[in-house]
């Protein structure tokens, strides 16, 4: 894949206020973020730090109180709910912590559903869905119902669903949280492959430090602010010079910083 | 994918589907039977008029329906026949009579005397012949009234207005909308039994000559016969229907029953469809998060409603036809016509779509962000 160095997803000065009156909380306090094509970026941070809120805004599910988001060159500014849905449909693939597969449909039908939403014709959808399942190593379970599948297999179907229709970015919310270590690592490996092999920008929210080895970039968020960034260069994770991870840095980053 | 998703959602919860279909089937059967009874009533009210096949009816002023007879003056026949454009004018004598049963007891009946040589009334003779009515005081009755009239077979005797009559013909399926049985006979016998003058009749049935203009002849007759009303077949038919179905309230009751059926159907389908939508709310939220337009999700719910309607309609129609078949052994006349069947399709689908509106409102309020909180 040829590396394109302009971000596929870019957010500037994102502020998000939740609630009203005395219960009002500023969940995000001026976040700048970009997602590069061909990279797997991990967004880490403690509970309540604003990870999911940021993911929701980047995925055009929530609108920011202030700031701007651009996906594949399209701004979300001024879009209504249908406009946001259109942007999600065209450019965003989601992978959810709880898989969120439609339980009444088989694996391949779940993928076909995403293709149908993206306007792929019914005649082309079966082949494209089969390709997506093959890409995640699940072509042999195409006709299985989600209720008959393991957590790992369900998450693979969810990734296939996110891949279907070639969205520009894939956003994953705690994709390994419901999986055992082996399946979790397999899913992260798959997401990293998706980023590298298809040139898509992949962002995964995670708590799981074991997933760091798959990341091209790591971003740490605390109390609604980005507090740390690290990038893998020549196979080594390097802390960005402008931001300090401090004691919150994951071991690999701390180690990388020492080397750097 | 919308039909598949709707189908799977519908069949996923079998119990809920059974409740939905029960509601629709109940509604379809209720509406089919009520409208079938309405059509049956129309059929019975208009049967005499439809079988008499007159272009124009000359009726006494103020006649409410065929079954509300009085006598014309008796001078109308020659006036009508002398009118340009008139081909024929047949007399019809109709009057209330007392039928005394052979083994005692009596009942009221409606005596209908016509020119039986023309072969219009009665019809559907299953025993005896039309010509047999010409025998002295020969009458025809419908076999469904045998018990009510206290007779059991052809040639049985009874009394009408204290004069002996003989059943010389038997019809099948000629029932009146009212409780009064029809007794058919010749013009002469009817006049004798009703003690009417030889020129008197209740109605004049006018047939126009080919090429004559109905409105022109009607207008000319009205001018010539000021103490009568000149009604077209359709007008007299509608007047009879309006009187029996709406002035008496009978038809309104049937229509009210049908509307009740529709309301019950809507409520049951709306309730179950709403519950089903609530059960699948997370899936709809996921679809929304994946970029489904509101229209796409609405179409899934509407498709569920339409699928329910089609299945419920087919089951309901089967049950309705069984009910109609079963009613043939009773005095009820329930009709199922292609138009009624078509109307029921439209009504059932419309009812289910209307019922889907609550579910659509629920889905419209879904916040796709809930997918992150599960």
Whether residues B220 and B263 fall in one domain: no
On whether both B98 and B221 belong to a single domain, the answer is yes
Q: Which of B171, B195, B226 is the last residue of a domain?
A: B226
Least confident range of A19-23, A67-71, B210-214, B324-328:
A19-23
- CB contact, 8 Å: B3 with chain A? no
Output the pLDDT for position B218.
Answer: 93
B152 contacts chain A (CB < 8 A): no
pLDDT for position A113: 94
**A260 pLDDT more than 60:** no
Please indicate, yes or no, whether residues B338 and B275 belong to a single structural domain of this protein.
yes
Q: Which two tokens stand for residue B26?
A: 């109940």
Judgement on whether residues B136 and B89 belong to the same structural domain of the protein: yes
Q: Smallest CA–CA separation between B336 and chain A, in Å?
A: 39
How confident is residue A213, by pLDDT bands cut at 50, 70 and 90?
Answer: confident
- Tokens for B125, please give them: 């003779």
The whole domain housing B183 covers 74-226
In this structure, the strands spanning B157-160 and B138-142 are unpaired
Name the closest residue on chain B to residue A92, using Cα atoms. B290
Which chain A residues are Cβ-neighbours of B283 within 8 angstroms?
100, 102-104
Residues of A in contact with B5 (CB under 8 A): 102, 104-105, 113
Q: What is the complex's ipTM, to 2 decimals?
A: 0.84
Note whether B278 and B212 are same-domain residues: no
Q: Which of A61, A86, A103 sits opposite B369 (nearest CB)?
A: A61
pLDDT at B283: 84
Q: Give chain B's domain count.
A: 2
B133 and B169 assigned to the same domain: yes
Q: Is B144 exposed, middle or buried (0-12, 13-18, 19+ CB in 10 A)?
A: middle
Quote the Cα angle for A63-A67-A73, to 5°.
80
Distance from CA of B351 to the nearest CA of A (A): 26
A20 to chain B, minimum CA–CA distance in Å?
A: 18
DSSP labels for A25-69? EEEEEEEEEEE-TT-EEEEE--TTSSHHHHHHHHTTSS--SEEEE
Q: Are residues B140 and B174 in the same domain?
A: yes
Chain A residues in contact with B9 (beta carbon < 8 A): 104
The domain boundary, picked from B226, B261, B294, lies at: B226
DSSP H or E segment with residue B114: strand B106-114
Query: What per-residue confidence (pLDDT) applies to A252?
Result: 54
Task: Give the residue on B whose Cα is nearest the Cα of A125.
Answer: B1
Residues B220 and B291 in one domain: no
Mean residue pLDDT of chain A comes to 85
For residue B286, list chain A residues with Cβ-Cβ distance below 8 A: 96, 100, 102
Q: Which ranges of chain B does DSSP label H, i.e. alpha helix?
A: 2-12, 14-52, 76-81, 146-149, 187-194, 214-224, 233-241, 250-279, 281-289, 294-327, 338-364
- R_g of chain B, CA atoms, integer Å: 29
Q: Are residues B114 and B17 in the same domain?
A: no
The more confident residue out of B368 and A251 is B368
Q: How confident is the model at residue A242 (pLDDT cuts 50, 70, 90)?
A: very low
Q: pLDDT band for A241, please (50, 70, 90 cuts).
A: very low
* Chain A residues with a Cβ under 8 Å from any Cβ in chain B: 52, 55-56, 59, 61-62, 81-82, 85-90, 92, 94, 96-98, 100, 102-105, 109, 112-114, 116-118, 122, 125, 161, 173
Q: What's the rounded mean pLDDT across residues A7-31?
A: 90
Reading chain B (374 residues) residue by residue, the pLDDT tens digits are 899 999 998 888 888 888 888 888 988 898 898 889 889 888 889 988 998 878 999 999 989 999 888 999 888 888 999 989 999 999 999 999 999 998 889 999 999 998 877 767 788 899 998 888 888 899 999 998 999 999 999 999 999 999 999 999 999 888 888 888 999 999 999 999 999 888 889 999 999 999 999 999 999 999 999 889 999 999 999 999 999 888 888 888 888 888 887 888 778 777 777 777 777 788 888 899 999 998 999 999 899 889 989 999 999 999 999 999 988 877 788 889 999 999 989 988 888 888 888 888 888 888 888 777 65
User: Residue A256 in 3-state DSSP?
Assistant: helix
Whether residues B31 and B115 share a domain: the answer is no
Q: Give domain status of residue B244, yes or no.
A: no
Tens digits of per-residue pLDDT, A32-44? 999 999 999 999 9
How are beta strands A217-222 and A225-233 bridged, if at all? antiparallel
Inter-chain CB proximity A88 and B290 less than 8 Å: yes
Backbone angles phi, psi at A35, to 5 degrees: -125, 125
- B4 → chain A, closest CA residue: A105
Query: Are residues B209 and B105 part of one domain?
Result: yes
Which of residues 354 through 373 in chain B touch A, CB cutoff 8 A? 368-369, 371-372
- Most confident option among A108-112, A227-231, B328-332: A108-112
Residue B68 has what pLDDT?
Answer: 86
Sheet holding A66-71, edge to edge: A25-35, A9-18, A66-71, A74-75
Q: Determine the CATH number of domain A9-259.
A: 3.40.50.300
Q: Are residues B331 and B290 in the same domain?
A: yes
Name which of B283, B294, B372 is nearest A102 (Cβ-Cβ).
Answer: B283
**Would the CB atoms of B289 and A94 count as touching at under 8 Å?**
yes
| B237 belongs to a structural domain | no
Whole-number Å distance between alpha carbons of A57 and A76 = 10
CA distance B66 to B202: 9
Q: Is there a contact between B2 and A116 if contact means CB atoms under 8 Å apart?
A: yes
pLDDT at A240: 56
């Amino acid at each position: 894949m040829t590396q394109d160095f302009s971000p596929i997803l870019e957010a500037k000065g994102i502020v998000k206020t939740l609630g009203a009156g005395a219960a009002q909380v500023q969940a995000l306090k001026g976040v700048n973020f970009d997602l590069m094509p061909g990279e797997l970026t991990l967004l880490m941070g403690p509970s309540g730090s604003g990870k999911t809120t940021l993911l929701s805004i980047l995925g055009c599910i929530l609108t920011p109180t202030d700031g701007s988001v651009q996906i594949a060159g399209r701004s979300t500014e001024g879009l209504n709910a249908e406009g946001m849905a259109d942007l999600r449909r065209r450019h965003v693939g989601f992978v959810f912590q709880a898989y969120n597969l439609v339980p009444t449909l088989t694996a391949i039908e779940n993928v076909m559903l995403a293709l149908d939403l993206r306007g792929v014709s019914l005649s082309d959808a079966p082949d494209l869905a089969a390709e997506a399942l093959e890409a995640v190593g699940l072509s042999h379970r195409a006709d299985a119902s989600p209720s008959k599948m393991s957590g790992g297999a369900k998450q693979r179907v969810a990734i296939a669903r996110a891949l279907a229709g070639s969205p520009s970015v894939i956003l994953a919310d705690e994709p390994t949280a419901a999986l055992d270590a082996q399946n979790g690592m397999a899913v992260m490996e798959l997401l990293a492959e998706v980023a590298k092999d298809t040139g898509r920008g992949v962002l995964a929210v995670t708590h799981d430090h074991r997933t760091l080895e798959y990341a091209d970039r790591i971003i740490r968020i605390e109390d609604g602010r980005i507090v740390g960034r690290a990038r893998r260069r020549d196979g080594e994770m390097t802390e960005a010079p402008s931001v300090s991870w401090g004691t919150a840095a994951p071991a690999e980053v701390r180690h990388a910083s020492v080397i750097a | 994918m919308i039909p598949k998703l709707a189908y799977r959602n519908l069949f996923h919860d079998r119990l809920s589907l059974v409740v939905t279909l029960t509601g629709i089937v109940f509604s379809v059967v209720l509406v089919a039977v009520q409208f079938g009874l309405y059509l049956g009533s129309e059929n019975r009210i208009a049967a005499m008029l439809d079988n008499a096949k007159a272009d124009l009816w000359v009726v006494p002023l103020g006649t409410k329906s065929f079954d509300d007879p009085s006598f014309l003056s008796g001078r109308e026949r020659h006036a009508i026949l002398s009118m340009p454009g008139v081909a024929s004018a047949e007399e019809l004598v109709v009057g209330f009579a007392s039928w005394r049963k052979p083994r005692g007891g009596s009942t009221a009946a409606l005596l209908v005397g016509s020119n039986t040589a023309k072969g219009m009334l009665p019809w559907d003779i299953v025993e005896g012949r039309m010509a047999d009515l010409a025998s002295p005081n020969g009458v025809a009755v419908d076999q469904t009234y045998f018990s009510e009239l206290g007779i059991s077979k052809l040639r049985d005797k009874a009394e009408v207005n204290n004069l002996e009559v003989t059943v010389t013909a038997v019809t099948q399926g000629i029932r009146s909308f009212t409780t009064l049985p029809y007794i058919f006979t010749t013009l002469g016998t009817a006049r004798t039994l009703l003690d009417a003058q030889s020129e008197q009749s209740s109605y004049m049935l006018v047939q126009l000559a080919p090429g004559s203009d109905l409105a022109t002849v009607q207008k000319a007759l009205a001018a010539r016969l000021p103490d009568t009303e000149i009604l077209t077949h359709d007008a007299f038919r509608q007047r009879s229907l309006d009187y029996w179905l709406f002035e008496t309230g009978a038809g309104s009751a049937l229509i009210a029953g049908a509307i009740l059926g529709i309301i019950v159907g809507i409520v049951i389908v709306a309730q179950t469809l709403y519950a089903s939508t609530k059960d699948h709310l997370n899936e709809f939220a996921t679809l929304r998060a994946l970029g489904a337009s509101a229209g796409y999700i609405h179409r899934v719910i509407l498709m569920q409603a339409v699928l329910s309607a089609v299945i419920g309609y087919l089951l309901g129609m089967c049950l309705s036809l069984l009910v109609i078949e079963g009613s043939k052994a009773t005095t009820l006349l329930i009709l199922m016509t292609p138009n009624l069947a078509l109307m029921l399709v439209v009504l059932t689908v419309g009812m289910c779509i209307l019922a889907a509106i609550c579910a659509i409102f629920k889905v419209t309020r879904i916040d796709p962000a809930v997918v992150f909180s599960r």
